[in-house]
Structure 1
Amino acid sequence: MTGWRGRAPAAFFLGSTALLAGGAIAAARGADELSRGTWAVATVLGLALSLLWTVRSLLDRRATVDVIAVLALGGALWVGEQFAGAMVTVMLASGRLLEARASARADRELRLLVERTPRTARRRDRDGVTRVPVEQVAVGDVLVVGTGEVVPVDARALTAGTFDESALTGEPMPVDRPVGDDVRSGVVNAAAPVDLVATSTADESTYAHVVRLVEQAQAASSPFVRTADRFAALFVPLTLVVAAVAWAIAGSPERAVAVLVVATPCPLLLAAPVAIMSGLSRASRIGVVVKGGAALEALAAGEVVLFDKTGTLTRGRPEVTSVVLAAEPPGAESVSPATSPIPYAVSCAVSSDELVRLAASLDQVSPHPLASALVRAARSRGLALELPTDVREVPGHGLEGRVGGVAVRLGKAGWIVGTGDPAWLRRVHRRAALDGSLTVFAAVDGRPAGAFLLEDPIRPDAPRMVAALRRAGIRRTVLLTGDRAEVAESVGRIVGTDAVLADHDPAQKLAAVHEESATARTIMVGDGVNDAPALAAAGVGVALAARGATASSEAADVVLSVDRVDIVADAILIARRSRRIAVQAVVVGMGLSLVAMLVATAGLLPAAAGAVLQEGIDVLAIGIALRALLPTRLHSVPMSPSDVATAARLRHAHDAAAAVVDQVRDVADDLRTHDCDLRPARALLDLLEHELVPHERADEEELMPIVARALGSSATTTMSRTHAEIEHQVARLRRLLEGLDDAEAADVPTEVSADDVTELRRLLYGLYAVCRLHNQQEEEGAFALVPAPSGTAPSAHESH
């Protein structure tokens, strides 16, 4: 029975069309009786089904415009206008088929998602690889995913792999995931078998969450569509009055039937839903799941946007922003590490890159969020990782194990450094306090080796998104967070929000949303559990759910399935365009129908011609509505494959250059007024001239034209100016060092005055500040344009 119901609209459409065409063929051959009989059968078919639909609506106490179809079809039979009746029947059948196709498409998408849901997983343990139900997979399990298999749960790559992520992102090209990268459930392994470590259970995984989202998005109808239904119901008495007037004027029912034939409000009943559903489809293509037409219209009507901070305007996960190496104890022999390009006045046990490599190798097997940050930092530096052995977690302290025969320990300062208070430790605490950073300390072979400073960097696409919202018509943006005021104010200034509300717990967030909603239509954007009440209370809630299921995405009306916040502006543009097109389709369609009714009332439009005209009006209205499916210019800028490839190559060089920028501050920090050793500064100058400056020149020659093509030449002015300023400051550094007495004595500490040291330190800190600002400009103005695959982690230097 269910199968027949699914095929019934198509059978109705094919049957009515065949009867209409058969009657036309008979009429063309002179068989008038046969043609009228064939058209009469089509009319009776339409009348019977219209009566059935009308009775069902009346029993459900729902207003319906099917009564107009009943009267038009019955009247056509009464006055002998069988052709007009057959046309009305085809019109009804085409409407039912369009509605059924739209519903079937949604059901098919859900069915395909459910069918792809993994049922089992292959888990690696001491006994080898065993297949277990996916529900038994726990966080930390090592899984094997073969070629062509679906990743069962969210995980992190232990071996590099290539994955087809089209089921989640719509991106057709396979995506390479190196060691340490996040791999989301539901994607397909497109290359050799890979090992993954599970970071979530099956119920909490991304794919299970997407299935739930699609289920939630099936039913809700749009307020505009419901308004169209109500308006169409009001259209019934108007049509009856006009038909009665036409009958009275003509003194016969033929004109009344003509009015009824052209009066069917299909532009209201079909065009509006088609435009809204087209908008939903367009939004889904860019990674925005809108839970029904009501949410799409609320998105289109938004005036004020409120943002959570952590995970929304910021990445929501720590990133390594600096590595501070531990100095040797006083009196120890100063020996520069062989792998470090810069000698230090006070030496360190290992180089910065080696410390990152050892720490990341140990953290590969840890599901802790800070572990992911260290692995991403190593990957951005191009470091080769090893699988650790003898790994042991010490509750409350950290993690320890061996990497290639070296004992490595990661954790809290007290566990790594002990009770001492060396100068490098005080420097770490000072930087952490100033920047609001997290710290992870490291020991190598039982000796303190250094510390990692981690921050939650601002999303590079956030400032452009806020600017795009203003261009889209949003009149006010508010940062609403539970974080400290000084941190929130800093983020608000950088991204450009109009107001900042800090130190708000969930109850206060809810009150703030209610206050904003009292004067304007609101949109709340968040990603955490504490955002769920505010998301539910806003006019429309938008949740970021690229990293799995959260309470916020369950409470939200709109869910972003890709890890980019700038598509919020695109979603609003799509929603507003879809609603505008729906209005246009209805105004044009109903306006033409009303004109046709008046013409029929005047006796200038016979029923047969009216039926053909009405079919044309319906097709026109639906055609206007289908424009919502067509691509249009959004905030996101399309880039050619060659531009994307060039930007990706320059991004790799950008990350390497950012590591050099870190060393500028380190060298400045280590300058001493007495017995100053200039060798680190000279080595740094060599790095700047051979790595940083060539990179900035390459950016000017290759990256700036890409940005100019995407955003216009004015967008490159500031970045081009800082390219020149960086090169100018490096040239000043060379002149300063050449002016000091360093001739022929590069290996001997050079005696320099306190004023010279001060000037050198000032120049280095200034260069560091300019480079850091410039790197952030490139992140926001250039690299944020590149369509990164969903789930791609940022570089370890994005906060710079």
Structure 2
Amino acid sequence: MNPIRVSLFVIAVAGLAGGLLAPFVGLAEAQSWIWGVAAGAVLAVLLYDIVTSLFEGEVGLDIVAGLSISAALAFGETLAAGVVALMYAGGQLLEDYAANRARADMKALLARVPKTALRYDDGHLQEVAIDAIHAGDRLLIRQGDIVPVDGRVSNGRALLDMAALTGESVPVKAMEGQDVQSGARSLDTAFDMMATRPASESTYAGIVRLVQAAQAAKAPMVRLADRYALVFLAVTVGLAGATWYFTGSHIRMLAVLVSATPCPLILAVPVAIIAGMGKAARRGVLMKGGPVLETMARAANLVIDKTGTLTRGRAELAGIVPAAHWEPQEMLRLAASLEQASAHVTAGSIVAAAQGRRLALSYPQEVRETAGEGLEGMVEGHRLIVGGHDFVARKLGLSALPRPEREPGTALAALAISGRLAGHLLLADGIRPETPLALERLRQAGIRRIVLASGDAQAVVDRVGEGLGLDVLRGGLKPEEKVAIVAQERRSGITLMVGDGVNDAPALAMADVGISMGATGSAAATESADAVLLVDDLTRLAEGLSAARRARAIAVQSVLAGLGLSFAAMVAAAFGYITVVEGALLQEAIDVAVILNALRALR
């Protein structure tokens, strides 16, 4: 809480209570003076804030409160001035509470930023600033530490709490050789990690930059509320002046002023927007600011990349086709045993498939790798050759090898054992298991049209899109053609674009809201995007969209209901149905109701 606002509230409470108690302690003559001093102290700070805002080019609705207190003091209505001062000071505290409550999730992300890390230097551990960490540095992550940079487990195993980043309540395990995302908290014993990115390029640093941008950005609806505030101020002053002119009663005029509550405009909109962003952040959807949430809330079209979004973004074993007497499981076991010696992504997929089937792998010997083509070596007395079709054929002294039938987009890894072709391993980038449900939920969240735009061949795109209920399937696209598709979709409605690769960055920038798959996405895609999915799961995007639509609806609802009640209170005061004190109390009741309604966006 702001200490100045707390002090003002204490002064206002003490002044009002002191004035009410004065007659009982023999100070009845000082009652009006006590109320006036307390109200004057609040008014002094209020006038300072108003002048400061005017110099910054902002016309705040605090002017209404300033006019109310000033008029009450000028007409000798010190009790009314004290009540308005208390209502104003209390409203300021309520504003602080609501804003802090709405920003709590994003503040929690910022509070977790580590400052130092333990790095191995010449065999010794040294505590260094995370800015001094470079790719390739070996770090020690202790139990309870926040992972400072993106990296890979190099010794031991990690049990990570990802809840603050992704909303996942179940800890995530990472074994030796697996990637670790910065910003996660270590829950288990210490492990060694090899940094793969410097701190400035790591996932968590990008998240921090997004949060800081989100806190600084003003949503269009908030800016619109600022403009409406001037209209509200003019209506309030005009109605109060007309009341005084036609009735000749300064009390009625004062009642009109104190009944005016601008809270629906100055608080309800930003609180609802920030609350919606906080809720989306808890579900792993981080937005750069209020404008992003407001735009997402009105989205109708979605352009989506294939690789890494609808699919896993990496090749996985899709089948085994034996060419001789070898059993598929034995083929996989031997191939994976040899592939353990390679760092190639395809080798990792084959090894992972064998480990997933709990096959016992042997240690390879005499391994020789030809970069980008394949490798050969000895496993259990067999000479094995694994790699591309042409590479294996060349090693066997053949001009070509028979190719099995396969679906579009499926890659082949040939396997030769003891000088003969044993068969092929089929590798494909499979559809994520949650993709069909995610697309269904995106439709439910208000997306009317979904376009798949990919650089892969049209046959591959058709295979992936089959049965997913997409509206348009476009393949073989260059980056500039993706941009053209996004521009075309924008003509029919607000358009979102989801991607994760460097080639997606221009299209992300063209979209009304560009969304990057942050956990696996490229740095270029993340920097070009307006929002980042911290979890590689499109169902989270649907949740983020729902949160955005709900937050915007609550903001609109709060403004319409709040201003309607305020205007009704002012008219009632003008006709003498509400006294000055009753108007001040009613104003505060409207403020509380509107703010509590706006905070519903957090639920």
Structure 2 distance, partners of 1:86, 1:578, is: 35
Deviation at 1:34, TM superposition (A): 4.7
* Corresponding position: 1:473 with 2:446: yes
* Corresponding position: 1:79 with 2:75: yes
Deviates more, 1:621-630 or 1:501-510: 501-510
- Residues 257-299 of structure 1 deviation map (CA, whole Å, 9 limit, x = unaligned): 1111111311111111111111111111111112221111101
Question: Contact 2:151/2:182 (CA < 8 Å) preserved in 1?
Answer: yes
Structure 1 residues without counterparts, runs of 5 or longer? 328-345, 631-800
Question: Contact 1:318/1:455 (CA < 8 Å) preserved in 2?
Answer: yes
Residue identity opposite 1:86 in structure 2: G
* Corresponding position: 1:624 with 2:600: no
Partner in structure 2 of residue 109 of structure 1: 108
* Corresponding position: 1:248 with 2:227: no
Residue identity opposite 1:627 in structure 2: R
Residues 313 and 349 of structure 1: is their aligned pair in 2 closer, same or farther, counting only changes over 3 Å?
Answer: closer
Structure 2 distance, partners of 1:166, 1:50, is: 41
Structure 2 distance, partners of 1:566, 1:34, is: 65
Query: In structure 2, which of residues 358, 362, 366 is the aligned counterpart of residue 382 of structure 1?
Result: 358
Structure 1 distance, partners of 2:240, 2:153, is: 71
* Corresponding position: 1:281 with 2:257: no
Query: In structure 1, which of residues 81, 85, 92 is the aligned counterpart of residue 88 of structure 2?
Result: 92
Structure 2 residues without counterparts, runs of 5 or longer? none
Deviation at 1:402, TM superposition (A): 7.4
* Corresponding position: 1:412 with 2:388: yes
Deviation at 1:473, TM superposition (A): 2.5
Residues 81 and 532 of structure 1: is their aligned pair in 2 closer, same or farther, counting only changes over 3 Å?
Answer: farther
> How many residues are matched?
598
Structure 2 distance, partners of 1:626, 1:208, is: 29
- Residues 431-467 of structure 1 deviation map (CA, whole Å, 9 limit, x = unaligned): 3xx3322234456688766543221111222222222
* Corresponding position: 1:42 with 2:42: no
Residue identity opposite 1:512 in structure 2: I
Deviation at 1:314, TM superposition (A): 1.5
Deviation at 1:243, TM superposition (A): 0.4
Aligned 1:183-332 pairs, distance under 5 A = 183-325=180-322, 327=324
Query: In structure 2, which of residues 46, 49, 58 is the aligned counterpart of residue 62 of structure 1?
Result: 58
Structure 2 distance, partners of 1:523, 1:230, is: 28
Question: Contact 1:43/1:73 (CA < 8 Å) preserved in 2?
Answer: yes
Structure 1 distance, partners of 2:132, 2:386, is: 30
Structure 2 distance, partners of 1:205, 1:46, is: 47
Residue identity opposite 2:591 in structure 1: D
- Residues 652-682 of structure 1 deviation map (CA, whole Å, 9 limit, x = unaligned): xxxxxxxxxxxxxxxxxxxxxxxxxxxxxxx
Aligned 1:298-447 pairs, distance under 5 A = 298-325=295-322, 327=324, 346-347=325-326, 351-355=330-334, 357-359=336-338, 361-363=340-342, 366=343, 368-383=344-359, 394-398=370-374, 410-418=386-394, 420=396, 425-428=401-404, 430-431=405-406, 434-442=407-415
TM-score in terms of structure 1 length:
0.68
Partner in structure 2 of residue 545 of structure 1: 518
Question: Contact 1:322/1:454 (CA < 8 Å) preserved in 2?
Answer: yes
* Corresponding position: 1:521 with 2:494: yes
TM-score in terms of structure 2 length:
0.89
Structure 2 distance, partners of 1:592, 1:349, is: 74
Residues 614 and 209 of structure 1: is their aligned pair in 2 closer, same or farther, counting only changes over 3 Å?
Answer: same
Residue identity opposite 1:148 in structure 2: G
Question: Contact 2:334/2:361 (CA < 8 Å) preserved in 1?
Answer: no
Deviation at 1:203, TM superposition (A): 3.6
Partner in structure 1 of residue 8 of structure 2: 12
- Residues 71-122 of structure 1 deviation map (CA, whole Å, 9 limit, x = unaligned): 11101112233333233333333444455453685784354133x2554434
Deviation at 1:526, TM superposition (A): 1.5
Higher strand fraction (1 or 2):
2
Partner in structure 2 of residue 584 of structure 1: 557
Structure 2 distance, partners of 1:138, 1:188, is: 20
Structure 1 distance, partners of 2:45, 2:229, is: 19
Structure 2 distance, partners of 1:444, 1:200, is: 39
* Corresponding position: 1:556 with 2:529: yes
Q: Secondary structure at the match of 1:354?
A: helix
Sequence identity (%): 42
Partner in structure 2 of residue 695 of structure 1: none
Question: Contact 2:269/2:598 (CA < 8 Å) preserved in 1?
Answer: yes
Deviation at 1:607, TM superposition (A): 0.8
Question: Contact 2:106/2:211 (CA < 8 Å) preserved in 1?
Answer: no
Query: Which one has the largest radius of gyration?
Result: 1
Structure 2 distance, partners of 1:611, 1:402, is: 88
* Corresponding position: 1:534 with 2:533: no
Structure 1 distance, partners of 2:512, 2:571, is: 41
Aligned 1:121-200 pairs, distance under 5 A = 121-122=119-120, 128=123, 131=126, 144-157=140-153, 159-200=156-197
Deviates more, 1:192-201 or 1:485-494: 192-201
Structure 1 distance, partners of 2:87, 2:363, is: 67
Q: Secondary structure at the match of 1:185?
A: coil
Structure 1 distance, partners of 2:177, 2:257, is: 68
Residue identity opposite 1:530 in structure 2: N
Residues 138 and 625 of structure 1: is their aligned pair in 2 closer, same or farther, counting only changes over 3 Å?
Answer: closer
Deviates more, 1:476-485 or 1:186-195: 186-195
Question: Contact 2:335/2:384 (CA < 8 Å) preserved in 1?
Answer: no
Q: Secondary structure at the match of 1:89?
A: helix
Question: Contact 1:272/1:585 (CA < 8 Å) preserved in 2?
Answer: yes
Residues 391 and 268 of structure 1: is their aligned pair in 2 closer, same or farther, counting only changes over 3 Å?
Answer: farther
Aligned 1:401-800 pairs, distance under 5 A = 410-418=386-394, 420=396, 425-428=401-404, 430-431=405-406, 434-442=407-415, 450-547=423-520, 550-630=523-603
Structure 1 distance, partners of 2:520, 2:143, is: 24
Aligned 1:23-42 pairs, distance under 5 A = 23-26=19-22, 32-42=28-38
Structure 2 distance, partners of 1:584, 1:526, is: 34
Question: Contact 2:308/2:520 (CA < 8 Å) preserved in 1?
Answer: no
Structure 1 distance, partners of 2:134, 2:368, is: 18
Residues 65 and 201 of structure 1: is their aligned pair in 2 closer, same or farther, counting only changes over 3 Å?
Answer: closer
Question: Contact 2:303/2:497 (CA < 8 Å) preserved in 1?
Answer: yes
Residue identity opposite 1:55 in structure 2: V
Q: Which has the higher contact order (CA 8 A, sep 6+)?
A: 2
